[in-house]
Amino acid sequence: MSRLNRLISHTLSTRALILTSQQHVFPHEQRLLLLPPQHLYQKTSARFLDIYQFGNKEAIKKERARLADEMSRGYFADISELKQHGGKIAMANKIMIPAMAAVKFPDLQVSYSNGRTLKLPIRSEGNVIDANNSAVPVASLLCLTFRANSQAMVDSWSMPFLETYRDSKKVQLYEVSLIDSWFLCLKPIKWLLLRMMRKSNDEGKEDALQRQIVYSFGDHYYFRKELKILNLLTGYIFLLDRFGRVRWQGFGSATKEELSSLLFCTSLLLEEK
């Protein structure tokens, strides 16, 4: 316990030093500066197969395939791509993805800074819309970041979206920071991080649409595989309908044309029967 206390004390001191020297970054980004880059995670990860799976050939084969996949692409590949296109790994959709062709966004457990948990996306089950369930949004914008540097990219989408739909009760906006580090996922460290990340102001509390900042701790490998996410240094933007289907997607920083496309597709979702 004394060793853990010394470690936490050292972490807090380091964070204070970083925040003092990083006054030019966004407050939300400052809270994420502790997150280690991908290559550090790969070196410090302590993921093992469960004991009962040691004799499971399928589990071993699956784990070997995962290791090969992770080793085929490292942190420096992400850096190289970032230098080439600044996080714009692809252009956003110009039109809305038809409902029949849209894929469902995978379930993701997230935590608010106060410790409250939630499963995203919030959606109607099956193909039936419950008109009495006002908790299900007609449209949801989910902005994903894996590293602090991509927070500015997310802001370029979320802030105009918030400004446009701040009076709408049918829309929800989530900024999700995904944290993979096994150390930061330890319960006492996780609790400490969430406590430090609590928002210090109540700006925009009177608006119908809130910018909800949440955090997802744990192993996100298979979550990323479902969404075909490779580069962890860029931001990923998903517009979902009330059934949790991905109807539009963007990457990196927003352009004027892409923002127009996002807002137009959102308006179409709000009109969709």
Domains and CATH numbers, the chain: 83-127+135-271 (3.40.30.10)
**Distance of alpha carbon 121 from alpha carbon 214, whole angstroms:** 12
Strands 246-251 and 236-241: antiparallel
Strands 139-145 and 171-179: parallel
Cis geometry, peptide bond prior to residue 121 (ω within 30 degrees of 0): yes
Higher pLDDT, 13 or 17: 13
**Distance of alpha carbon 162 from alpha carbon 166, whole angstroms:** 5
| pLDDT tens profile 57-82 | 776 777 777 676 666 666 677 788 77
144 strand-pairing partners: 176, 236
pTM summary value: 0.74
Q: With left for phi above 0 and alpha for psi between -120 and 50, is residue 228 left, alpha or beta?
A: left
Residue that is written with structure tokens 């910018």 in the block: 211
Torsion angle, CA of 245/251/255/257, rounded to 10 degrees? -40
The token pair at 37 is 């880059």
For residue 209, the one-letter residue type is L
**What local confidence, expressed as pLDDT, does residue 133 receive?**
52
Strands 139-145 and 236-241: antiparallel
Q: Do residues 251 and 235 make contact, with C-beta atoms less than 8 angstroms apart?
A: yes
Whether the predicted pLDDT of 93 surpasses 70? yes
Which ranges of 72-169 does DSSP label H, i.e. alpha helix?
75-85, 151-165
User: How many residues are listed for the chain in this entry?
Assistant: 273
CA max distance for the chain: 59
Sorting pLDDT into bands at 50, 70 and 90, what band is 183? confident
Work out the angle at residue 153's Cα, subtended by the Cα atoms of residues 164 and 145, and round it to the nearest 5 degrees.
105
**Distance of alpha carbon 194 from alpha carbon 99, whole angstroms:** 36
**What local confidence, expressed as pLDDT, does residue 81 receive?**
79
**What local confidence, expressed as pLDDT, does residue 182 receive?**
84
Q: Do residues 238 and 75 make contact, with C-beta atoms less than 8 angstroms apart?
A: no
